[in-house]
């Protein structure tokens, strides 16, 4: 007899199977995509089983070994602590014609070549004096003399005796002189410090000027400058050599690396250099390799360039650099804190050990309370405590950290403008097919399956899967190549074709327009594989380019950079973000493309700053490319989130392995644009969106960036005001009957103390993913804006609140917008006057960002009256108005706006760009500080915390 239960169960199983097969067939994914996904899934499983179970630990291990062989292209897409910028020996050669035939920079490792250099320099000095200098091997002192100055040997003496050569001192910017003085002050109290000026402000020059000063100051234990070590990423090692040779030719500077000029035993070089009080340049990997020989000697100065490389206190290199026995440790970085306060602790533990107590004490008494106070759902007490502790921390570190931003020193350096935009590029049909195919593969299913047979943690699988998705976003062949390498012949004609990648289509349009406009570009990608495809594209299109990645010999990198900067025939410089994006000067380019985003925003920020720095003469435009709806959007949101929460939300070590399935599901989707045609991120940050009207091709010059920005700001203000309106139960009719003063008080109260919005707890997983719902970012920004009473957003909110009360319907408000946008110059200068009467210092930097376009003006009663009498249709009732300031723009500024607007309109029309956001505005909003009430208890807690860490370091 048939067991009915068993029969039913088997039928049920069959039905389920049929249903699954049917669903799979109906999902619109092609057979090719499905089989590629399965094949790749199998390969990845095999790889994961065979090697380390966790590719992140593999990535971190890279730092623990000396010379890395970074061959696995998967690694390039994974979050990483270390730049991995050392050269890759025996790897793929890049195509030969990209390598310029340039002379190498020779360091002073070989004593004979050092002596020859010194002799040549002295001859040149004599030749300048005699008037027959040929112009070869220019140095700063020669330049100084050629400018009509005499006695380059003369010294400028600082207080307490540091003697900096006059020819250097006079060529320093004012803020750089402050930097040198600060270094001298630290020196006198036997302390280390962190020079944290923004990228491109000349930290190298400040250090060299200071060391040159020490070398001319005959005092102290070493009778001037003692033997010193500078640790730097491989790519910038020779940049240091060339800067030293230019600014301070008398010092001996040797590179301890296999590309250096010394021959023989490394220990001999260390010994010789130590004896001659020279400067030893070495990579981070080199410190690990030669630790014993380096740390057994006493050094005068130990300087870490791009010192954020030791931000993880647990890595081997972080531990080793702390072994150097000298109080004079300087850390240089333009990104002192990238993710958390833990990083700050690690940096200070190197150059000022004990200042922040032990790690545990610091985490308990500083990091944790600040973290807690940073959560959006923190209590008032937690917020106040966080503020007080943050203040105490700032006070502790301020004497030992010097940081100036470009905005702060702009009046000295006069940098040209920078315009930075995020372009959301539509993926191609093929990419969509592959993306969906992979999302539906067993690999992704097993990750999302709560009861996965692979068990927990599944972090390694997640990271591999995410990097696979990123490959598809970059180009289908980066993904297909892996699947097809064994079983199919590659179609050489089709391979890497730019038309098969949405972002490459955009690159194609950008490069062609820029070529016509005479711009030169830097293109950064995370992966060497992608660089190969871009290189192939450049070759086919006939662009002259240079390419720099880990395969390029360290000794050649500086020359390659020099060639690009000096030879305008090269229109594109291709580089991996980790090799070409750190420390180098690429001011020959004025356009930058960040082809794919890094999990860590600081990596992308570093890359884009290669062009926008001292020495740049043209306006710079940066485009960050994101594949719309894909993992890349999530990465960008994560970047913004980090920017936003930088000082408040920190990594909680206990939550490192927390990855909720809901987070994962959010990552493994392909979002479709919403009904407005916006991508997810564009709708989150709507207010920063740049609208380019496709119909405006003929008159795109008329649609100025300033109008667009004003509209964007107004949209944002409206959105925020809607939120506020939702939270108040008072109807409009009721409002009009109320006493206007009461009404103003109520609104003000609402703005300053908005109703709490629930924001989920934040889990940050080791620089990779977070389970916070990103829609909460917007509400968080709103809260910040509402708290920030002196901010322009508040003014905007007020304006909109007021105008909404007084203007019925969109039509009328449109009239108002138009009206506000088309004020006459006379009225604008009125407003400016009023503005001058009530300067708001804190607003300045923010305002500067949007200054060319919008000015917010507090309108006094008197001026309001005047306005009413002149322009009766202006219905702004009280307090604020928005003005477009028709500030006279320089010709250059106008040209850039027109150029960029033109490029954008072309991209929207032709090249599959879905949305564009103004990156600065997104980050600017995100970086706004909350204002807290100071509470007595919080102050006490902060004092206790300081006492606790002092006690801990004893
Ligand atoms: N006083 C100066 N006179 C002439 N050139 C200068 C001066 N200061 C800086 N520069 C130039 O500015 C550029 C940037 O300097 P530098 O590389 O030292 O910046 P940085 O702050 O170390 O940047 P990063 O953080 O990106 O490494 C270099 O080309 C340098 O030569």
Q: What's the mean pLDDT in 20-43?
A: 65
Question: Contact 941/707 with Cβ under 8 angstroms?
Answer: no
Under a CB-based contact definition with an 8 Å cutoff, are residues 777 and 640 in contact?
yes
Nearest to 100 by CA among 588, 615, 558, 584: 558
| Minimal-distance CA residue to ligand 1 atom 1 | 172
- Report how far Cα 210 is from the mean position of its chain's Cα atoms: 28
| Average pLDDT, integer, range 324-349 | 87
Least confident residue range of 144-148, 598-602, 703-707: 703-707
Distance between CA atoms of residues 301 and 245, nearest Å: 19
The H or E element that residue 255 is part of is strand 253-256
pLDDT of res. 214 = 95
Query: What are the residue ranges of helices labelled H in 189-247?
Result: 203-215, 234-247
Q: For residue 450, how many C-alpha atoms fall within 13 Å in the half-sphere facing its CB? A: 4
The per-residue pLDDT for range 246-264, each reduced to its tens digit, is 999 999 999 999 889 888 8
Cα–Cα distance measured from residue 709 to residue 513, given in angstroms and rounded to the nearest whole number: 24
Of the pLDDT bands very low, low, confident and very high (cuts 50, 70, 90), residue 358 is very high
Instruction: Name which residue leads in pLDDT, 796 or 690.
Output: 690
Q: Please state, in angstroms and as integers, the Cα–Cα distance from residue 327 to each residue in 155, 324, 351, 357, 898, following that order.
A: 26, 9, 8, 17, 53
For residue 371, what pLDDT is reported?
A: 72
Alpha-carbon gap, residue 595 to 598, rounded angstroms: 10
Give 316 Cα–ligand 1 centroid separation in angstroms.
30
Alpha carbon distance 786, 777 (integer Å):
14
Decide: pTM greater than 0.80: no
Dump pLDDT digits (tens) for 826-844: 333 333 332 333 333 333 3
Helix (H) or strand (E) holding 882: strand 880-883
Q: What is the pLDDT of residue 365?
A: 92
- Predicted local confidence at residue 881, as pLDDT: 23
Q: Whose CA is nearest to atom 10 of ligand 1?
A: 202
* Cα 473 to chain centroid, rounded: 21
pLDDT digits (tens, 9 = 90+) for 161-200: 899 999 999 999 999 999 999 999 999 999 999 999 999 9
Confidence at residue 219, expressed as pLDDT on a 0 to 100 scale: 81
- What pLDDT is recorded for position 706? 44
pLDDT of res. 639: 74
Is the confidence at residue 452, as pLDDT, over 60?
Answer: no
Atom of ligand 1 lying closest to residue 585 CA = 29
Q: Quote the pLDDT of residue 382.
A: 82
Distance CA 492, CA 490 (A): 6
**How confident is the model at residue 850, as a pLDDT?**
27
pLDDT value of position 784: 29
Ligand 1 close to Cβ of residue 754 (< 6 A): no
Residue 568 binned pLDDT confidence (cut-offs 50, 70, 90): very high
Predicted local confidence at residue 78, as pLDDT:
54
Q: Locate 495 and state its tokens.
A: 């391979």
Measured in Å, residue 206 CA sits from the centre of ligand 1 at 9
* Residue 585 CB–ligand 1 contact under 6 Å: yes
Per-residue confidence (pLDDT) for residue 340, from 0 to 100: 72
Angle value at C-alpha 856, between 890 and 711, nearest 5 degrees: 80
pLDDT for 569 equals 94
* DSSP-based three-state secondary structure for 769: strand
673 CB near ligand 1 (under 6 Å): no
Residue that has been written with the tokens 């035993």 in this structure? 265
CB neighbourhood size of 296 (10 A): 10
Residue with CA closest to ligand 1 atom 4:
171
Average pLDDT over residues 801-810: 41
Q: Are strands 880-883 and 855-858 parallel, antiparallel or unpaired?
A: antiparallel
Nearest alpha carbon, ligand 1 atom 7: 202
Q: Measured from the CB, is residue 583 less than 6 Å from ligand 1? A: yes
Q: Closest ligand 1 atom to the C-alpha of 333?
A: 25
Between the CA of 788 and the centroid of ligand 1 the distance, in Å, is 35
> Residue of the nearest CA to atom 23 in ligand 1?
200
Can you give the pLDDT at residue 909? 63
Cα(7)–Cα(1) distance, rounded to whole angstroms?
A: 11
> Does 650 or 271 have the greater pLDDT score?
271
User: Minimal CA–CA distance to 153: which of 130, 134, 129, 184?
Assistant: 129
- Return the structure tokens found at 728: 């108040």
Q: Give the other-Cβ count within 10 Å of 832's Cβ.
A: 14
- Picking from 429, 503, 491, the residue whose alpha carbon sits closest to that of residue 33 is 429
> What is the DSSP code (8-state) at residue 686?
G
Lowest mean pLDDT segment, chosen from 1-10, 70-79, 830-839: 830-839
Distance between CA 573 and CA 235 in Å, rounded?
15
At residue 705, does pLDDT exceed 80? no
Give the distance, in angstroms, between the CA of residue 433 and the centroid of all CA atoms in the same chain: 31
Looking at residue 689, what DSSP letter applies? B
Tokens of 500: 């098969």
For residue 749, the model assigns a pLDDT of 54
CA–CA separation, 780 vs 649, rounded Å? 12
The band of 587, judged by pLDDT with boundaries at 50, 70 and 90, is: very high
pLDDT tens digits, residue range 201-213?
A: 999 999 999 999 9
ipTM of the complex: 0.98
More confident of the two residues 725 and 676: 676
Amino acid 832: pLDDT: 33
Residue 108, pLDDT score: 94
- The Å distance, Cα 615 to ligand 1 centre, comes to 8
Write the pLDDT tens digit of every residue in 663-695.
566 777 777 766 556 666 665 555 455 554 444
pLDDT of residue 634: 83
In angstroms, rounded to a whole number, what is the distance separating the alpha carbons of residues 691 and 672? 19
CA pseudo-torsion sign 395, 400, 405, 409? positive
Does residue 503 line the site of ligand 1, with CB under 6 A?
no
Give the pLDDT band of residue 863 (cuts 50, 70, 90): very low
Highest mean pLDDT among 393-397, 450-454, 610-614, 640-644 belongs to: 610-614
556 within 8 A of 63, measured Cβ to Cβ: no
HSE-CB for 621 with a 13 A CA cutoff: 25
- Nearest-atom number in ligand 1 for the CA of 197 is 21
pLDDT at 138 over 80: yes
Residues near 363 by beta carbon (within 8 Å), at least 6 away in sequence: 342, 345, 653
Q: In whole numbers, what is the pLDDT of the chain averaged over residues?
A: 70
What angle (nearest 5°) sits at the alpha carbon of residue 200, between those of residues 194 and 201? Answer: 65
- Does the pLDDT value for residue 15 go beyond 50? yes
More confident site: 160 or 319: 319
What is the spatial distance between Cα 1 and Cα 17, in angstroms, rounded to a whole number?
Answer: 26
- Give me the pLDDT at residue 906, please: 66
Residue 179 has a pLDDT of: 96
Phi, psi of 527 (to 5 degrees): -120, 145
pLDDT band at residue 92 under the 50/70/90 scheme: very low
Distance from the alpha carbon of residue 191 to the mean position of ligand 1, in angstroms = 24
Among the residue ranges 11-20, 406-415, 479-488, 924-933, the one predicted with the least confidence is: 924-933
DSSP string over 452-499: -TT-S--HHHHHHHHHHHHHHHH-HHHHHHHHHTTTS---TTTTT-GG
pLDDT band at 501, cuts 50/70/90?
very high
Give the pLDDT score at 708: 53
Q: Kindly give the residue spans of alpha helices, DSSP state H, lying in 67-202.
A: 111-130, 140-146, 166-169, 174-188
Whether the CB of 334 sits within 6 Å of ligand 1? yes
Higher-confidence residue of 37 and 758: namely: 37
Q: 531-562, pLDDT tens digit by residue?
A: 999 999 999 999 999 999 988 888 888 889 99
- The residue ranking higher by pLDDT, 852 or 362, is 362
The tokens for 529 are 């594989």
> To which residue do tokens 């949209």 refer?
715
Q: Does ligand 1 have an atom closer than 6 angstroms to the CB of 242?
A: no
Strand duo 620-627 + 591-594: pairing: parallel
| pLDDT for res 330 | 97
- Convert the pLDDT of each residue in 886-914 to its tens digit: 344 556 666 666 667 667 666 666 656 66
Tell me the CA–centroid distance for residue 171 and ligand 1, in Å: 12
Quick one: average pLDDT of 577-581? 85
Q: What is the mean pLDDT of residues 414-423?
A: 89
Mean pLDDT on 690-713: 46
* Mean pLDDT confidence for 111-132: 92
Q: What is the pLDDT of residue 833?
A: 31
pLDDT the model gives residue 702: 37
Percentage with pLDDT > 90 across the chain: 33
With beta carbons less than 8 A apart as the criterion, state whether 137 and 128 touch: no
pLDDT at 294 over 90: yes
Instruction: Tell me what pLDDT residue 474 has.
Output: 94
Whether residue 810 has pLDDT greater than 60? no
Identify which of 581, 614, 616, 620 to mutate to test ligand 1's pocket (most ligand atoms within 8 A of the CB): 614
SS (H, E, C) 504-560: HHHHHHHHHHHHHHCCCEEEEECCHHHHHHHHHHHHHHCCCEEEECCCCCHHHHHHH
Q: Is it the case that residue 311 has pLDDT exceeding 70?
A: yes
What does the angle CA 379 – CA 380 – CA 384 come to, to the nearest 5 degrees?
A: 120
Element (H, E) at 194: strand 193-195
Q: Which of 165, 196, 203, 205 has the most ligand 1 atoms within 8 A of CB, as the residue to mutate? A: 205
Question: Pseudo-torsion of CA 673, 675, 678, 684, nearest 10°?
Answer: -100
């Amino acid at each position: 007899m048939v067991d009915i239960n068993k029969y039913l169960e088997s039928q049920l199983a069959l039905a389920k199977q049929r249903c699954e097969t049917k669903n799979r067939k109906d999902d619109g994914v092609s057979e090719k995509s499905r089989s590629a996904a399965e094949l790749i899934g199998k390969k990845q499983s095999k790889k994961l089983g065979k090697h380390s179970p966790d590719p992140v630990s593999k990535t971190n291990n890279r730092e623990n070994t000396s010379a890395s062989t970074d061959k696995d292209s998967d690694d390039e897409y994974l979050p990483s602590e270390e730049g991995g910028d050392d050269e890759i020996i025996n790897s793929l050669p890049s195509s030969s014609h990209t390598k310029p035939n340039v002379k190498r920079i020779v360091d002073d490792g070989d004593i004979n070549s050092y002596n020859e250099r010194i002799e040549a320099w002295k001859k040149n000095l004599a030749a300048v004096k005699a008037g027959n200098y040929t112009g070869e091997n220019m140095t700063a002192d020669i330049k100084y003399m050629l400018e009509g100055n005499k006695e380059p040997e003369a010294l400028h003496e600082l207080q307490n005796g540091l003697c900096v050569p006059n020819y250097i001192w006079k060529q320093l910017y004012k803020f750089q002189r402050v930097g040198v003085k600060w270094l001298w002050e630290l020196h006198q109290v036997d302390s280390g410090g962190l020079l944290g000026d923004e990228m491109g402000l000349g930290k190298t020059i400040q250090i060299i000027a200071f060391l040159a000063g020490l070398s001319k100051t005959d005092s102290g234990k070493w009778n001037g400058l003692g033997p010193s070590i500078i640790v730097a990423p491989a790519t910038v090692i020779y940049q240091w050599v060339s800067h030293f040779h230019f600014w301070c030719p008398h010092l001996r500077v040797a590179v301890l690396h296999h590309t250096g000029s010394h021959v023989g035993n490394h220990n001999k070089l260390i010994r010789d250099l130590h004896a001659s009080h020279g400067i030893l340049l070495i990579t981070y990997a080199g410190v690990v390799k030669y630790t014993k020989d380096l740390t057994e000697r006493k050094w005068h100065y130990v300087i870490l360039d791009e010192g954020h490389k030791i931000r993880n206190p647990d890595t081997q290199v972080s531990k080793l650099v702390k072994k150097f026995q000298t109080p004079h440790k300087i850390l240089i970085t333009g990104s002192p804190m990238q993710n958390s306060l833990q990083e700050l602790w690690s940096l200070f533990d190197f150059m000022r050990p004990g200042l922040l107590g032990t790690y545990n004490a610091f985490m308990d008494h500083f990091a944790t309370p600040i973290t807690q106070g940073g959560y959006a759902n923190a209590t008032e007490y937690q917020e106040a405590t966080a503020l007080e502790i943050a203040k105490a921390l700032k006070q502790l570190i301020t004497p030992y950290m010097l940081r100036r931003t470009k905005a702060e020193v702009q009046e000295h350096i006069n940098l040209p403008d920078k315009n930075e935009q995020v372009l959301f590029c539509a993926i191609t049909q093929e990419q969509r097919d592959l993306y969906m195919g992979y999302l539906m593969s067993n690999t992704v299913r097993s990750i999302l399956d709560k009861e996965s047979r692979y068990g927990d943690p599944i972090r390694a699988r997640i990271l591999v899967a995410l990097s696979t998705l990123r490959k598809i976003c970059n180009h289908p062949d980066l993904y297909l190549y892996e699947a097809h390498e064994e079983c199919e012949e590659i179609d050489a004609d089709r391979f890497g074709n730019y038309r098969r990648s949405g972002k490459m289509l955009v690159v194609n349009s950008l490069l062609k327009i820029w070529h016509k406009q005479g711009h030169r570009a830097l293109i950064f990608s995370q992966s060497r594989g992608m660089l190969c495809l871009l290189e192939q594209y450049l070759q086919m299109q006939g662009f002259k380019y240079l390419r720099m990645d880990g395969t390029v010999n360290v000794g050649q990198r500086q020359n390659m950079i020099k060639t690009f900067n000096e030879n305008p025939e090269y229109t594109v410089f291709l580089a991996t973000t980790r090799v070409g994006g750190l420390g180098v000067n690429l001011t020959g380019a004025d356009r930058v493309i960040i082809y794919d985003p890094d999990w860590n925003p600081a990596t992308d920020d570093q890359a884009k700053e290669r062009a926008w720095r001292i020495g740049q003469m043209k306006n710079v435009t940066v485009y960050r490319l994101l594949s719309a709806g894909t993992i890349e959007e999530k990465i960008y949101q994560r970047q913004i989130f980090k920017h936003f929460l930088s000082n408040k939300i920190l990594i909680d070590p206990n939550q490192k392995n927390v990855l909720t399935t809901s987070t994962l599901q959010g990552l493994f989707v392909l979002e479709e644009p919403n009904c407005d045609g916006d991508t997810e991120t564009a709708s989150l940050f709507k207010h920063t969106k740049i609208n380019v009207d496709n119909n405006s091709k003929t008159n795109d010059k008329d649609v100025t960036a300033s109008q667009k920005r004003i509209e964007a700001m107004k949209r944002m203000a409206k959105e925020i005001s809607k939120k506020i309106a939702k939270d108040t139960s008072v109807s409009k009719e009721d409002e009009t009957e109320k006493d206007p003063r009461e009404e103003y008080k109520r609104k003000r109260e609402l703005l300053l103390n908005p109703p709490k919005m629930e924001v989920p707890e934040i889990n940050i997983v080791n620089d990779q993913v977070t389970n916070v719902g990103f829609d909460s970012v917007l509400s968080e920004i709103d809260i910040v804006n509402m708290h920030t009473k002196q901010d322009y957003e508040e003014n905007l909110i007020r304006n909109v609140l007021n105008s909404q009360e007084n203007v019925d319907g969109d039509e009328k408000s449109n009239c108002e917008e138009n009206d506000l946008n088309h004020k006459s110059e006379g009225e604008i200068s009125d407003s400016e006057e009023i503005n001058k009467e009530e300067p708001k210092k804190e607003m300045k930097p923010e305002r500067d960002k949007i200054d060319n376009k919008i000015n917010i003006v507090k309108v006094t009663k008197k001026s309001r009256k005047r306005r009413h009498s002149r322009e009766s249709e202006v219905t702004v009732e009280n307090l604020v108005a928005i003005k477009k300031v028709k500030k006279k723009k320089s010709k250059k500024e106008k040209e850039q706006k027109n150029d960029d607007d033109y490029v954008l309109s072309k991209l929207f029309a032709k090249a599959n760009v879905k949305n564009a956001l103004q990156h600065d505005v997104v980050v600017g909003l995100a970086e706004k500080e909350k204002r807290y009430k100071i509470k007595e208890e919080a102050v006490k807690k902060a004092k206790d915390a300081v006492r606790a860490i002092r006690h801990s370091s004893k």
